[in-house]
């Protein structure tokens, strides 16, 4: 199961997506110490979180990628929270609304096998996104990095569904082409380091079989919960799928 909890924020001080790492600190303090330690040492985290502004209102969006994370993070730790404090900046934030959505893993598979999928995939990179390859930052939407990241995250979260296969990955990349983009280069500050990254939109055209297009659609749908690329637990890499063709 994956799930998403959106918390609507009310605050007198100005917020920014760069503060997501401070919200991560708040989250760790709300969790049981043993579970927080387990997450700290985990290579692939079973959750993502980021900040986003929609129509001048800020939201803290936290996603959980397995049943334990759904229960411990979303339902036990965050569900009844009324306010939080960013101690480093002494900012008090009220929670004035929430919206919750969950989806079992079998539903991703059902969408893959039983739905008709278009040839065009539109992705909005909502929070700063970057990849890391051979020790270097990749701050543009490289399709190999994109699909590889999503397949890795799916395997880490789902556990018993092994998706990352080099041949499948190469076929995805060979049949995918970016045909439109509207991107902006940005940086994401984290512990004194400015990570080069990007935000914006791309449109991918899928060639090849309908199965390949469906598989790509399923990965992107999962990515709206898992995020993509690096530092997704600290506020980077959140994506949204735009269904209609632009």
- Residue partners of 31: CB distance under 8 A and separation at least 6: 39, 72, 73, 77
Q: Which of 30-34, 98-102, 116-120, 168-172 has the lowest mean pLDDT?
A: 116-120
Pairing of strands 47-54, 2-10: unpaired
What's residue 177's pLDDT?
97
Does residue 146 register a pLDDT over 90? yes
Q: Do 129 and 35 belong to one domain?
A: no
Structure tokens at 226: 């898992």
- CA pair distance 42, 20, nearest whole angstrom: 19
Is the CA virtual torsion 227, 179, 165, 133 positive or negative? negative
- Picking from 86, 103, 120, the residue at the C-terminal end of a domain is 103
Q: Do 75 and 114 belong to one domain?
A: no
pLDDT band at 162 (very low <50, low <70, confident <90, very high): low
Which residue shows structure tokens 């309908």? 210
Count of alpha carbons within 13 angstroms of residue 170, beta-carbon side: 3
What's residue 13's pLDDT?
93
Helix (H, G, I), strand (E, B) or coil at 61: strand
Q: Do 99 and 160 belong to one domain?
A: no
Q: Do 238 and 166 belong to one domain?
A: yes
- Picking from 79, 103, 127, the residue at the C-terminal end of a domain is 103
Range of the domain at 44: 2-103
pLDDT single digits (tens) 87-134: 888 999 999 999 999 999 888 878 777 777 789 999 999 999 999 999
Q: Do 42 and 76 belong to one domain?
A: yes
Q: Do 234 and 128 belong to one domain?
A: yes
pLDDT single digits (tens) 174-206: 999 999 999 999 999 988 899 999 999 999 999
- Picking from 103, 131, 160, the residue at the C-terminal end of a domain is 103
State the average pLDDT for the chain: 92
Residue 125: CATH number of its domain:
3.30.70.1900
Number of domain units in the chain: 2
- CA pair distance 204, 120, nearest whole angstrom: 6
Q: Do 192 and 233 belong to one domain?
A: yes
pTM value is 0.93
Q: Do 18 and 90 belong to one domain?
A: yes
Residue 82: CATH number of its domain:
3.30.70.1890
- CA pair distance 32, 183, nearest whole angstrom: 39
Q: Do 90 and 56 belong to one domain?
A: yes
Report, in this order, helix, strand and coil percent for the chain, each rounded to 5. 35, 35, 30
What's residue 246's pLDDT?
43
Percent of the chain at pLDDT > 90 equals 78
Report how far apart, in Å, the C-alpha atoms of 79 and of each of 7, 20, 72 are.
9, 19, 10
Q: Do 35 and 149 belong to one domain?
A: no
């Amino acid at each position: 199961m994956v799930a998403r909890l959106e918390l609507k924020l009310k605050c007198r001080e100005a917020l920014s997506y760069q503060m997501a790492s401070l919200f991560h600190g708040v989250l760790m303090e709300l969790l049981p110490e043993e579970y927080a330690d387990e997450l700290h040492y985990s290579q692939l985290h079973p959750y993502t979180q980021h900040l986003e502004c929609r129509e001048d209102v800020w939201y803290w969006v936290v996603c959980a990628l397995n049943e334990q994370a759904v229960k411990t993070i979303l339902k036990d730790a965050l569900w009844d929270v009324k306010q939080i404090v960013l101690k480093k900046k002494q900012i008090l934030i009220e929670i004035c609304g929430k919206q919750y959505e969950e989806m079992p893993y079998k539903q991703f598979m059902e969408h893959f096998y039983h739905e008709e999928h278009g040839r065009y995939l539109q992705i909005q990179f909502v929070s700063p996104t970057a990849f890391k390859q051979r020790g270097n930052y990749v701050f543009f939407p490289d399709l190999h990095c994109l699909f590889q990241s999503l397949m890795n995250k799916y395997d880490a979260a789902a556990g018993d569904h092994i998706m990352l296969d080099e041949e499948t990955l190469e076929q995805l990349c060979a049949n995918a082409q970016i045909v439109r983009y509207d991107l902006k280069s940005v940086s994401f500050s984290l512990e004194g380091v400015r990570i080069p990254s990007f935000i914006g939109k791309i449109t991918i055209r899928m060639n090849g079989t309908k199965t390949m297009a469906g598989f790509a659609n399923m990965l992107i749908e999962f990515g709206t919960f898992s995020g993509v690329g690096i530092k997704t637990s600290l506020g980077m890499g959140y994506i949204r799928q735009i269904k209609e063709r632009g």
